[in-house]
Structure 1
Amino acid sequence: MGKKILVWFRNDLRLHDNEMLVEAVSKADEILPVYVFDPRHFKKTNYHSFKTGVTRTKFLIESVISLRQSLQEMGGDLLLLQGYPEEILPELVVKHDISEVYHHREVASEETAVSIKVEDALWKQKINLKHFIGHTLYNKEDLPFPIKDIPDVFTQFKKKTERDALVKPCFTMPATISFASVEDWGAVPEIGTLLQDATAAMLKVNTEFRGGEKEALAHLHDYLHAGEDMALEKISLKKHEIVSKLSAWLALGCLSPREVYWKMKDAEASYGIRPYFHQIVLGLLWRDYYRFMFKKYGNIFFKPQGFNKVGLPLRLENTSALQNWKDGQTGQPLVDACMQELNTTGYISQIARQLVATYLVKELSVNWVLGAAYFEEQLLDYCPASNWGNWAAVAGVGNDQKLSNSFDFEKILKFIDPKGVFAQVVRA
């Protein structure tokens, strides 16, 4: 009987630059790829929101389907199951005579807790759960400082990291894979089986995003290899922020940060340094920064008082101010437009996120945690570290106090719409 390794996919839904998959293929006679739809990801929270909204659920399902199709093209499949991983994976170990289980490590508390439960359950069977890292541009061991000494100020983190750390090359996608034999690989669940009230919510969905590794790589190629005329058009349309919109695929691991970086370097070699390329690297560094801050500080980012010893009490009632903000019915034209775009597409730009978050916290005096929870429901590119880290900064309770004191609604509003043109169009 040959060695079998179970590859537990989570937020790493890709074949390219996937160390976990590469090592499993090299060390096992057969692999069993598995994805588990965990009901905890779709439950209602205490903050009048769902863990995952309909748009993000749709994007997730598309991404899982894409991974399954890629594995099918290689002669295998992806086993799809619904339930708790800590119950399902030990059962699969027995059923398929698994020698070891591989997965990618996460940094936020809920995701880490699931890993611990799985690890404990497997340990009772004397099976090892091997952890991999693959969500960041820089590996933690390649940083110029240990986690406990990472600068809290982003600009210092960026400067030292770019100067003293190197981005590793991508892992080569396996040319062939030997798969375990499975009678029933499972069906893709419908949105309605995962979510409550999904039918009504689907009526609002109108998004250009489609999940999956192939879509991610195609979007990256189109963005990097757009002609100069298109590049100039991007700049003129949104001069305050050039938006690559890669973050949704990065969030689910359909796209590797290192793949983005090295493909950008290839484009630079062909076309020279385009003015918006640096925004890509900046976005990747921000993602790394907050993930490493979560490693450094843990659950502090989820607490209403954050890094301040004195914070506002968290009121859990669903106030009219909160609901109007969610619905894009506050009466502030640009805020409402941004929120309506978020609700229908699952995406708004970073500066738009700062605008609506600052309005909720500073103008409406609603506790920031309720806004962060709603973004968790709606954002296609939701990552616990980036989302909660950014919201804590806006609320003034983040770890980088220089950043936390920089958010002012009127300044952001004037930056986006300096002449009030947008407001005039909306009122007309």
Structure 2
Amino acid sequence: MAGKVIICLLRNDLRIHDNEALLWAFKHGSQVLPIYCFDPRHFKGTYHFGFAKTGPHRLKFLIESVQDLRCRLKSKGSGLIVRTGKPEEVIPELIKSVGPEFVSSLVYTQEVTQEEIDVEAALNKSCGVKIQTFWNSTLFHKDDLSFSIKQLPDVFSQFRKRAETECSVRSVIPTPETFKPLPQGIEEGNIPTCEDLGVENVPQDSRTAFPYSGGETSGLDRIKYYFWETDKVAKYKETRNGMIGADYSTKFAPWLAHGCLSPRFIYSEIKRYEKERISNQSTYWVIFELLWRDYFRFVAMKYGNEIFFLNGIRRMHLPWKKDTNAFIAWKEGRTGVPYVDANMRELAATGFMSNRGRQNVASFLTKDLKLDWRLGAEWFESMLIDHDVCSNYGNWQYSAGIGNDPRQDRKFNMVKQGLDYDPNGDYIRLWIPELNQVKGGDVHTVWALNSTVLSRANVVLAQTYPKPLVIAPEWGRHMGKVGGATRGGGRGCGGQQQPTKRGMDFYFKNTQPRQ
């Protein structure tokens, strides 16, 4: 084996465009070994509550992304080594099989949360070769910030203003036409199936708002479609709170979460679009969302494991409740509050949910049910195709009032939100077929409909559809806006006249980080 071999460990950077770690390896190595490891720790239970850490929807997307990356590398003359095992055990064995005298270095993209940092520390200890790392995940490079991570503002708007006025986005790294080949004699390995990893393979639900496969190819196709073929990006700000269909938002998040798309490439395409077609609030708003993603990654760097603690980065002691039945009803979409239930059923069936839906179901869990926010965060970690550890836990702390939200008491009104964003109830009926005969916006407050209306719609509360777990008093302010002729005589949860407040006072004390 001639020359020096560089091993490039790929994790959440499953692309060849604008991948500094991978492109550095091909520039400096005589031969390059790109490798992806299916780490068995990713398929165990979540730390506190034991949900499947990588659920079927995300795993399917991940496998497709690895398959696509292998194809793209092969098309440029290289390939992708795939192994199942812990990287800190797989890589030393790979170095041994290549010959330690031939391997000059190991290169990878840095991560920021504890599990990933632990893997990096173990690699540095076990490999016995030079380690080269790169920062590859954010729009703004951490070294280009005009302030230290310790000085990161605790309010997003302050971060955004400083980043936009004091920092610049680096250019996209050009991708060579051809790559250097794999060393001879190294078996590439099979890409496992979901079943190989102990996870059930699920078919795609025809109702999904994310009908796309994983991988860089489909991500680049989505940019081309959303920007250049349809100009939908020019109306993103107006449509982003939609609930049904693929085109109300960019849908870039799953590809970003797996590193199939570079945020800098998206930014460069926006800037090109603004120059060649139109620049407006919608094109800016895509950048705005990329800034939120950056922000939560930097928050994770600043606070470390506190983003996983029960009391949050604010270290607030709140009386979180413990009610297993209430949580199960929430995650299965059986709370009796249709707007919440429809969103949770979409998540379970597809691994995706709109941003509007996420804000509402998180508020309902933490502010209406007052359950431990980590239940929601770990369930999302299991279910979401686009799970990003920093964004997920940062957003959940934000929703729970213990994170970066300057308004600790922010609470979403489920009825108002449903009427604002699904006024005719089409989204509800799409995901809750047992309510499909309830007409119009009345479906948002089905518990308040009189017996005649319910009978005509073939709905029997507590039998065909649950009574609500809670009825918040503020919901009543918006009940009259929904087909008033059909109201009257409705009973709340447990047979109580609505509106009423119910309480369940329990508390989780564990404040350990995610593992």
TM-score, normalised to structure 1, is 0.92
Show the counterpart of 1:341.
346
Residues 13 and 258 of structure 2 are in contact (CA less than 8 Å); yes or no, is this contact kept in structure 1? yes
Give per-residue Cα distances to partners, 1:288-337, cap 9 Å, x unaligned: 0010111111010100111344424777x771111111111111111111
Instruction: Specify the SS of the correspondent of 2:9.
Output: strand
Residues 93 and 99 of structure 1 are in contact (CA less than 8 Å); yes or no, is this contact kept in structure 2? no
Name the aligned partner's letter for residue 295 of structure 2.
Y
Give per-residue Cα distances to partners, 1:343-385, cap 9 Å, x unaligned: 1221112121010011111111211001000000111111111
Show the counterpart of 2:454.
none
Q: 1:388 aligns with which of 385, 393, 397?
A: 393
Structure 1 residue 274, shift from structure 2 partner: 4.2
Show the counterpart of 2:259.
253
Distance 1:155 1:147 in 2: 16
Q: Residues 229, 338 of structure 1: CA spacing in aligned structure 2 closer, same or farther, 3 A cutoff? A: closer
Instruction: Specify the SS of the correspondent of 1:225.
Output: helix
Show the counterpart of 1:184.
187
Describe how 1:100-179 pairs up with structure 2 within 5 A: 100-122=105-127, 125=128, 127-179=129-181
Distance 2:277 2:407 in 1: 34
Residues 355 and 413 of structure 1 are in contact (CA less than 8 Å); yes or no, is this contact kept in structure 2? no
Q: RCO (CA 8 Å, sep 6+): is it higher in 1 or 2?
A: 1
Show the counterpart of 2:412.
408
Structure 1 residue 419, shift from structure 2 partner: 7.8
Distance 2:237 2:169 in 1: 28
Show the counterpart of 2:37.
36
Structure 1 residue 5, shift from structure 2 partner: 0.1
Q: Residues 233, 63 of structure 1: CA spacing in aligned structure 2 closer, same or farther, 3 A cutoff? A: closer
1:292 maps to 2:298:
yes
Alignment size in residue pairs: 421
Name the aligned partner's letter for residue 141 of structure 2.
N
Describe how 1:366-381 pairs up with structure 2 within 5 A: 366-381=371-386
Distance 2:57 2:413 in 1: 28
1:84 maps to 2:86:
yes
Name the aligned partner's letter for residue 222 of structure 2.
H
Distance 2:148 2:341 in 1: 43
Q: Residues 239, 73 of structure 1: CA spacing in aligned structure 2 closer, same or farther, 3 A cutoff? A: closer
Identity of matched residues, %: 38
Once superposed, what is the RMSD of the aligned Cα atoms? 2.5
Name the aligned partner's letter for residue 66 of structure 2.
V
Describe how 1:1-12 pairs up with structure 2 within 5 A: 1-12=2-13
Q: 2:402 aligns with which of 397, 402, 423?
A: 397
Residues 138 and 263 of structure 2 are in contact (CA less than 8 Å); yes or no, is this contact kept in structure 1? yes
Give per-residue Cα distances to partners, 1:373-399, cap 9 Å, x unaligned: 00001111111110000001111111x
Residues 362 and 409 of structure 1 are in contact (CA less than 8 Å); yes or no, is this contact kept in structure 2? no
Structure 1 residue 164, shift from structure 2 partner: 1.0
Bigger mean CA deviation after superposition, 411-420 or 342-351 = 411-420
Q: Residues 212, 239 of structure 1: CA spacing in aligned structure 2 closer, same or farther, 3 A cutoff? A: closer
Residues 242 and 279 of structure 1 are in contact (CA less than 8 Å); yes or no, is this contact kept in structure 2? no
Gaps of 5+ in 1: none
Q: 2:287 aligns with which of 271, 281, 284?
A: 281
Residues 240 and 249 of structure 2 are in contact (CA less than 8 Å); yes or no, is this contact kept in structure 1? no
Residues 54 and 195 of structure 1 are in contact (CA less than 8 Å); yes or no, is this contact kept in structure 2? no
Show the counterpart of 1:350.
355
Show the counterpart of 1:321.
326
Distance 2:19 2:69 in 1: 13
Name the aligned partner's letter for residue 382 of structure 1.
H
Distance 1:233 1:366 in 2: 33
Residues 204 and 343 of structure 1 are in contact (CA less than 8 Å); yes or no, is this contact kept in structure 2? no
Q: Residues 424, 64 of structure 1: CA spacing in aligned structure 2 closer, same or farther, 3 A cutoff? A: same
Gaps of 5+ in 2: 429-440, 447-456, 458-515
Structure having the larger proportion of residues in helix: 1
Distance 1:230 1:294 in 2: 29
Residues 19 and 136 of structure 2 are in contact (CA less than 8 Å); yes or no, is this contact kept in structure 1? yes
Q: Residues 363, 155 of structure 1: CA spacing in aligned structure 2 closer, same or farther, 3 A cutoff? A: same
Bigger mean CA deviation after superposition, 364-373 or 403-412 = 403-412
Q: 1:264 aligns with which of 261, 266, 270?
A: 270
Bigger mean CA deviation after superposition, 44-53 or 55-64 = 44-53
Structure with bigger gyration radius: 2
Give per-residue Cα distances to partners, 1:60-83, cap 9 Å, x unaligned: 000000000011112221011001
Bigger mean CA deviation after superposition, 26-35 or 187-196 = 187-196
Residues 327 and 340 of structure 1 are in contact (CA less than 8 Å); yes or no, is this contact kept in structure 2? yes
Structure 1 residue 182, shift from structure 2 partner: 3.5
Residues 316 and 402 of structure 2 are in contact (CA less than 8 Å); yes or no, is this contact kept in structure 1? no
Structure 1 residue 25, shift from structure 2 partner: 1.1
TM-score, normalised to structure 2, is 0.77
Distance 2:409 2:290 in 1: 23
Describe how 1:14-33 pairs up with structure 2 within 5 A: 14-33=15-34
Show the counterpart of 2:14.
13
Give per-residue Cα distances to partners, 1:116-151, cap 9 Å, x unaligned: 1111112xx2x1221111100000111111111111
Distance 2:150 2:186 in 1: 48
Show the counterpart of 1:217.
220
Show the counterpart of 1:424.
442
Instruction: Specify the SS of the correspondent of 1:361.
Output: helix
Residues 234 and 242 of structure 1 are in contact (CA less than 8 Å); yes or no, is this contact kept in structure 2? no
Give per-residue Cα distances to partners, 1:146-192, cap 9 Å, x unaligned: 11111111000000100111111000112221122234210110101
Distance 2:236 2:398 in 1: 32
Instruction: Specify the SS of the correspondent of 2:71.
Output: helix
Distance 1:88 1:418 in 2: 53
Distance 2:391 2:270 in 1: 22
1:332 maps to 2:337:
yes
Bigger mean CA deviation after superposition, 26-35 or 174-183 = 174-183
Structure 1 residue 114, shift from structure 2 partner: 1.1
Residues 375 and 387 of structure 1 are in contact (CA less than 8 Å); yes or no, is this contact kept in structure 2? yes
Structure 1 stretches of 4+ moved >2 Å:
201-207, 226-242, 307-315, 403-428
Residues 401 and 408 of structure 2 are in contact (CA less than 8 Å); yes or no, is this contact kept in structure 1? yes
